[in-house]
Amino acid sequence: MNTWLQLFLYFGILLLLVKPLGVYMAKVYQGERLVSMNSTHRFLDPVLGPVERFLYRLSGIDPQTEMTWKTYAIAMLVFNISGVIAVYLLQRLQGFLPLNPQGLDAVSPDSAWNTAVSFASNTNWQGYGGETTMSYLTQMLGMTVQNFVSAATGMAVMVALIRGIVRHTSKEIGNFWVDMTRSVLYILLPLSLVLALALVSQGVVQTFSEYKSVTSLQTGE
């Protein structure tokens, strides 16, 4: 496909999604009931609402309690530093962990640290060959989870900044844990589900089996 046509389609789709997706995200972060266009049917809340409330109960979070900017920042930093440590250890210990049918050894300390910091900061820079370096467990529990929570962290900080500008007389800017949870549950997961179905429809395969050697057929030059 022509490069200019790709850019045109990309920006065209982006512009079409600005209004509906922006309104939807605003309702998510304001904690409003999500309704369809005709406002007669709750959209996603019947399914995801109980999950959201269960996560709050499990974590001991009061969604009605808001934070000052300092508390919000500390919560964000603690969560992301914990993520860096978890992803680093996962890579270093993958040789002893399950879902590693290829028997891949531990990732080297420098590469493991670089990857952990990169994915926790939502840079997602891959300085390694995924199929020859990371086990299935490391890629799912480490890289994939960080693809969600690191993006959700950035979205939460963006929303907190907006609240700080709008609420110029208030010291509270929301709750980090609530903002991050809603980012993942109501925005990132539904979008990823749609894209996953699109990939499956094109024959993309997911398996926990050992790697297979496939001889491809190549026609003329």
Annotated domain spans of the chain: 64-190
Q: What angle do CA 215, 197, 12 make, to 5 degrees?
A: 105
Bridge partners, residue 35, by sequence: 42
Per-residue model confidence as pLDDT tens for the chain (221 residues): 678 888 888 889 889 988 888 888 888 898 765 444 443 335 678 888 899 999 999 999 999 999 999 999 999 999 999 999 999 999 999 999 999 999 999 999 999 999 999 999 988 888 888 778 999 999 999 999 999 999 999 999 999 999 999 988 888 999 999 999 999 999 999 989 988 888 888 888 778 888 877 777 765 55
In eight-state DSSP terms, residue 105 is -
Q: What angle do CA 123, 128, 133 make, to 5 degrees?
A: 125
- Looking up tokens 């290829």 gives 102
The full DSSP string for 26-77 is: HHHHHTPPPB-TTSSSB-SHHHHHHHHHHHHHHHT--TT---BHHHHHHHHH
81/74 Cα distance (integer angstroms):
10
Q: How far is CA 141 from CA 8, 78, 108, 199, 202, in A?
A: 36, 19, 18, 20, 25
103/119 Cα distance (integer angstroms):
23
Structure tokens that stand for 10 in this block: 């990309």
Q: Give which of 77, 34, 79, 40 is closest to 52, Cα–Cα.
A: 34
The pTM score is 0.84
